[in-house]
Structures are given as structure tokens and as C-alpha cells.
Amino acid sequence: MSDLVLLSKLANVGVITINNPPVNALSPGVPEGIVEGVATFNADPEVTAIVIIGGGRTFISGADIKEFGKITSGQKSDIGLADKIDLIEQSAKPVVMAIHGQALGGGLEVAMGGHYRVMDPAAKVGQPEVKLGIIPGAAGTQRLPRLAGVAKAMEMCWQGDPISAAEALQHGIVDAVSNGDLLTFAVEFAQGKPVRRVSDLPVAAADPAVSSAARAAAAKRARGLMAAQKAIDAVEAATRMTFAEGVAYERQLFEECLFDEQSKSMIHIFFGEREVAKIPFLAKDTPVLPIKSAAVIGAGTMGGGIAMNYLNAGIPVRLRETSQASLDRGVATITKNYAASVAKGRFTQAWMDSRLALLTPQLTWEGFDTADIIVEAVFENMALKKTIFAELDGIAKADCILATNTSTLDIDEIASATKRPHMVVGHHFFSPANVMRLLEIVRGKDTAPEVLATSMALAKTLRKVGVLVGNCFGFVGNRMFGPYRRVAEQLVIEGADPMAVDKALYDWGMAMGPLAVGDLAGLDVGWRIRQERGEVGSAPIEDALCEMGRYGQKTGAGWYKYDEKRNPAIDPVVTALIEQHRTGHREISAQEIIDRCVGALIDEGKKILEEGIALRPVDIDIIYVNGYGFPAHRGGPMWYGQVGR
């Protein structure tokens, strides 16, 4: 037997420990090792029960995702997991799965192959395959409804979010939650238990209302994602097929997903999110500075959201404003955001109170001299930012990181206002900063390696995807967004309807159409930038809209007019304005709209790569999927540019 699976005995119980660091993926040899262990203990007369447990930090994180490419490229025909799980389930001696960390995907499927499951209170279980564009492929869609019921199984399989031990217990997915050492608990639990095979359990009769509600919810929340609908189909099949038939049907749907571009794109994003954390030019032993306290300047939308990230991570924050009214407004927004999460059941009131207790709103610089990081989040104005950084230079301790949340401005010029440009870095958060996962970490010409290493580590602490980018106007994300939106306007000038432009890109998978995004973000932002950069005229319709005071949603009108609920409607005033700028009236297809707008992203992305502003194409993809509503199932603009065009 290989080292991937270790066998030991505790009194009359055979213990199988999975030993495939870092996260016990089911790489070749692991399922085989477990099956061999089960057979060994079945043949051992001293053993009356078997416990399967994960070594290290987790139970099993799922099938080895790297193996999927071998199937799609024809190197192998199967992951070979479902049949191994059947063999575990066939054990004549009771098998108890002891879950700590995570049992995800194939990990939960293995767990359900056991006769019982016990769980550490902090552990999580889930079927996250849909987030990789696939569905469970080792009978998860057939065993889960037998334990948790059809509705819960459907929800878990199409949404893909892991659930807590308490919830897993409540839904019958596990049989007990441990109250001490997990292995000891599992060994005791195993005593005298009869064999109980999940595949033998009945499934409740089909309820069409449950399936159609799940399909409608998935069509909305997982728009365009084939795997979400197929996950529902597979679970529903359990209500009308035998276990064996259901497994065969699941396999067919799993393969349909696996061979589709959607899953290849989403797997690219999964590994990409981990790849961007690796900075080739940073030595592995680059020091990471401890960040135990933070200070944020500016309690507006961005400053407040940024402060919440630190509070959520348990890091105390001093939040500074220049007037009491602005400070009060900022604190009220933070409180309101937390209260909304409590109302939705995402946090408890006690948790919210403990976060707010870490916040010190203030009008002075008090305590800024001891902060480990100071984040400036004031109005996007170079002169103002330079004044602030010059002032900070006289206040902050020597090893304090000075971060600016600028979304476009030159980091080096901001840093030049200090005598320590090596401590200055851009931390570009995306609105709403407490929700959006992306953090662009902008490297100035003098930014020290330890400031970059700390920023990357901090992104993880703040539960963000940190992507290192170079210093240029708009960095990566906003720089690419400019040409994308310009092309959208150009299409209108050539004859496309604004709504047709937005609809084409929305239907293709973007979170919003490009013109609607302009209205949401504020058309005046781009207008001011064009004026500052001498680019007036490059967006003639948007210039004209701004001259009319139509800045977008915040003024109730932009490309569209908005009612109190912010529903957009066509405004004849805009239709007339467009007519004045029209150079043609040709029919423009949805495909042309997609090709030209996404093409603009790709072309600018290529320039960004040539200039070394982004490290790798995948960095751009991760930025677009996490910060700009680009559909993960299309893999990001650079990936799509290779496979989709």
C-alpha cells in the first residue's frame, strides 16, 4: 500500500487515514488505497468496525481536479471513483466516516459511501462541482437525496455552497457532531453499529414544484451555467430511477458537462485564482509584515466598505473623516450594511456587535502613528491625495504600509509626496468593497518586495483575490474597461439600440451591459477623466449626456431614465440625442456586439501583457471574473480570446 493511505488500529476498530497533503484530493492511488484498507480490515478478525479519517487539515477536498484534463484529452476514460465508493459501501463491517475540515465534491461522495458519518463542529460538507462547471460524478446526486431529501440535495448540488456541521446534522447528512477529539468520538460511535447502506435508502416521491422552483432559481442565479440545470436533472432522476439507473444517468450528464467549454473555463478560473497568488519575482522568504491594526482615511462608500473588510477579519480599524456629518454618515452606512446581513441570517447580532466594537470613528490623526497599514480612500484627485500622503509621511511609523485606493491615478506620483516611496502601494478595491472579491494590488516603481508580499498575504486574510498589477492609467481592470465601453457607444453610433447592446452582453453572461454599468457607476466619472486627459470627443454621446446633467442612476437619468426602484426605461430625449450622432442605421447582430465589445477587452489586454502591467493572461482573467462581472463559465477575456473567438 502506498503512503497515500495509512492503516492503524485502535482497539477493535481499523482506522484508515488519508494522507495526500495539502488537502487530501482523491488523486490516483487514494480511492484505491481506501478500498484496499477496507478489504484488509474486513479480512482482519480482530476488527469489528472501520473509521475513515483525513490526515492533516481536512477530510477530502474532492476528486483531483488536475485529472479532468486527462479525460477530456482522451488519456484516460474515467476518474474511477464511483465504483470504489460502491466497494467501500459493500463492506460487511460498519464504516464510519470522520469528517474534519472539508468533505467537498468527491469527498462528500466518499463520505456518503460510508455507513455513518460523524463530523467535527467546525467542518463543512458540500457538492461544489457546479462551481467547476460540472456536476457530482460519483453518485453524489443519488446518495445525497437519500440522506437529505430531494429539495436540500438539489439546492446543494446546483448552488454548490458548503454547509456547516449543524446544518448537515439537521438534514441527516451526518449522524452526529463530535464534542471532542474526532477520532476518539468516531471510534466510540462505531461500536455495535449495524451496516446501513445509503444506496438502499428510499427517496421521497418527485415533487414537481420543488424541481421547477430550483430550475427557476438556478436560471436566475446561475445564468447560462449548464451544470446548474443538469445538477437539478440528476437529483430529480433519483425520484424516478433505481439507484443504478440514476448513477448511470448522472454519469452521462457529468460527461456532457466535463467535455463542454464551460467546465474547462471554470477549472481555468479555479487554478487561476491560486496561480495569481504566486509572484514569480518575489523570493519565497520575502518577509510578510504583521498587520494587527489598520487606519482608513475617508468614510465614503469605498472607505466604509474597505473598513468592513478589516473588521470582518478581526483587525481593529480607525476610520477618519474631516467632518462629523461625513463620519456619522459613514458609520451609519457600515452599521446598516451589517444589520442587513444579520437580518438575512448571514451573521449573528453578537458577531455584528463584536465587529463594530473594533471600529474607532474619529476626526483626528490619533493612533495613526501606531497603525500597521493606512488606507487612503478619498476623492479621486491627485492634489488631494498628495497632500494626504505628505501628511502621513510625518505621522506613520517607519514600517507602516501606506496604501491608496485610487482606481486610476499614478502610484509613483502619489508616492513622490513622501520620503518613503518603498512603503507606498495601491490597494484598489471594487465597489461595494465589502462584497466584491477583487483587490488589485498596484506596484509602484519603488514599492518594496515586503510591501508586495504583505499585500498579497493580506488579500487572503481579507478573503479577497489579490492580483498584482503594474502602474499605468486605470491599471488592468479600468484600463481595459475604457475601450470596452467606447466600443459599446460606437455600436450605438453605428445604429444599435442601447438596450440591444446591453442585452446582447447580458445574455452572453456579463453581470450587466456596458451602458447600464456606466449609468450605475456614474457617467460623470469618465467625463471628468476625459476632460483631464484631453480626450473630450472620444465618447460624444456620453459627453452630451453629462452636459445635460444626466450622470446615470444617481441623477435618475443617463443612457436610460430610472424610476424610484431604479428600473431602466428608454428615454425619447436620449433617442433624439443618439439620432444626432448616428453615422448609420444598419442592423447590428447580437454576435457582432459581443465580438466587438469583448474583442476590445482582449485587444487592450494584449497591450497590457506586452507592457508587463499584468504578469500573465490568467491574472487579467481573474480580475475580470472577480471585479467586472465577466462570466466565469467563459473563463475571462484572455482565455475566451484563445478558445472562444
Q: Which residues are catalytic?
A: 109, 129
Nearer to ligand 3H9 (CB atom), residue 109 or residue 372: 109
Residue from 114, 128, 426, 617 binding ligand 3H9 (CB under 6 A) = 128
Q: Shortest Cβ distance from residue 187 to ligand 3H9 (Å)? A: 25
Residue 38: CB minimum distance to ligand 3H9, A? 19
Kindly state the smallest distance separating residue 61's Cβ from ligand 3H9, in Å.
4
- Contact between 109 and ligand 3H9 by CB under 6 A: the answer reads yes
Side-chain-side CA neighbours of residue 607 (13 Å): 13
Stretch that binds ligand 3H9, among 125-133, 302-310, 469-477, 572-580 (CB under 6 A): 125-133
DSSP character for 193? P
- Using CA atoms, how far residue 497 sits from 177, 513, 595, in Å, is 58, 12, 16
For 315, phi then psi, to 5°, come to: -100, 125
List, edge to edge, every strand of the sheet that includes 102-104. Answer: 102-104, 124-126, 163-164
DSSP for residue 274: H
Beta pairing, strands 561-562 & 568-569 = antiparallel
Smallest gap from residue 616 Cβ to ligand 3H9 (A): 14
Nearer to ligand 3H9, 463 or 585 (CB): 463
Query: Among 105, 298, 518, 526, which residue sits at the site for ligand 3H9 (rule: CB under 6 A)?
Result: 105
Q: What separation in angstroms does the CA of 107 have from each of 84, 157, 165, 186, 413?
A: 12, 14, 15, 17, 51
Minimum distance from CB of 32 to ligand 3H9 (Å)? 14
Indicate the residue type of 40.
T
Sort 72 into a burial class: Cβ within 10 Å, 0-12 / 13-18 / 19+.
middle
Q: What is the DSSP string of 399-435?
A: T-EEEE--SSS-HHHHHTTSS-GGGEEEEEE-SSTTT
Q: Does 246 bind ligand 3H9 (CB under 6 A)?
A: no
Q: Which of residues 68-87 bind ligand 3H9 (CB under 6 A)?
A: 79, 81
Kindly state the smallest distance separating residue 271's Cβ from ligand 3H9, in Å. 6
> x/- string (CB under 6 A) for ligand 3H9, residues 309-348?
----------------------------------------
Helix (H, G, I), strand (E, B) or coil at 191: coil
Residue 63 contacts ligand 3H9 per CB under 6 A = yes
Nearest distance in Å: CB 56, ligand 3H9: 10
Which residue number, 131 or 427, has a Cβ lying nearer to ligand 3H9?
131
Site string for ligand 3H9, 530-559 (x = CB under 6 A): ------------------------------
* Long-range contacts of residues 560-568, Cβ cutoff 8 Å, at least 24 apart: 560/498, 560/499, 560/515, 560/516, 560/519, 562/519, 568/516, 568/519
Cell 462584497, residue? 435
Site for ligand 3H9 in 254-283 (CB under 6 A): 271, 274
Report, in Å, the least distance between residue 213 CB and ligand 3H9: 24
Beta bridge partners of 104: 126
Residue 250 within binding range of ligand 3H9, rule CB under 6 A: no
Stretch that binds ligand 3H9, among 136-144, 233-241, 297-305, 558-566 (CB under 6 A): 136-144
Minimum distance from residue 109 beta carbon to ligand 3H9 (Å): 6
Pairing mode, strands 465-470 and 438-443:
parallel
Long-range residue pairs from 242-251, CB within 8 A, at least 24 positions apart, any chain: 243/139, 243/142, 243/199, 243/200, 246/139, 246/141, 246/142, 247/82, 247/139, 247/142, 250/135, 250/136, 250/137, 250/139, 250/140, 250/141, 250/142, 251/82, 251/137
Tell which positions 3-62 bind ligand 3H9, by CB under 6 A.
22-23, 25, 58, 61-62
How many H helices and E strands in the chain?
27, 21
Strands of 168-313, DSSP E: 176-177, 294-297
What residues contact 625, with CB distance under 8 A and at least 6 apart?
Answer: 269, 631, 632, 636
- Contact pattern from residue 374 through residue 413 relative to ligand 3H9, giving x for each residue in contact according to CB under 6 A and a dash for the rest: ----------------------------------------
Q: Are 154 and 236 a contacting pair, CB within 8 Å?
A: yes
25 versus 541: smaller Cβ distance to ligand 3H9: 25
Q: Which three cell numbers stand for residue 351?
A: 458577531
Q: Total residues at the site for ligand 3H9 (CB under 6 A)?
A: 26
**Cα–Cα distance for residue pair 70/640, rounded to 1 Å:** 21
Tell me if 159 contacts ligand 3H9 by CB under 6 A: no
Q: At its nearest, how many Å lie between ligand 3H9 and the CB of residue 234?
A: 11
* Residue number, 124 or 152, with CB nearest to ligand 3H9: 124
DSSP summary character for residue 199: G
List 102, 178, 455, 471, residue binding ligand 3H9 (CB under 6 A):
102
With CB under 6 A as the contact rule, the residue among 133, 137, 303, 627 that binds ligand 3H9 is 137
Nearer to ligand 3H9, 60 or 319 (CB): 60
Task: Name the residue nearer to ligand 3H9 (CB basis): 272 or 444.
Answer: 272
Instruction: Please state, in angstroms and rounded to a whole number, the distance separating the CA atoms of residues 474 and 434.
Output: 21
The number of beta carbons lying within 10 Å of the beta carbon of residue 416 is 16
Residue written as grid cell 466565469: 632
The one segment of 129-137, 425-433, 473-481, 580-588 that binds ligand 3H9 by CB under 6 A = 129-137
Is residue 104 within the footprint of ligand 3H9 (CB under 6 A)?
yes
Residue 141 binds ligand 3H9 (CB under 6 A): no
Residues in contact with ligand 3H9 by the rule CB under 6 A: 22-23, 25, 58, 61-66, 79, 81, 102, 104-106, 109, 128-129, 132, 136-138, 140, 271, 274
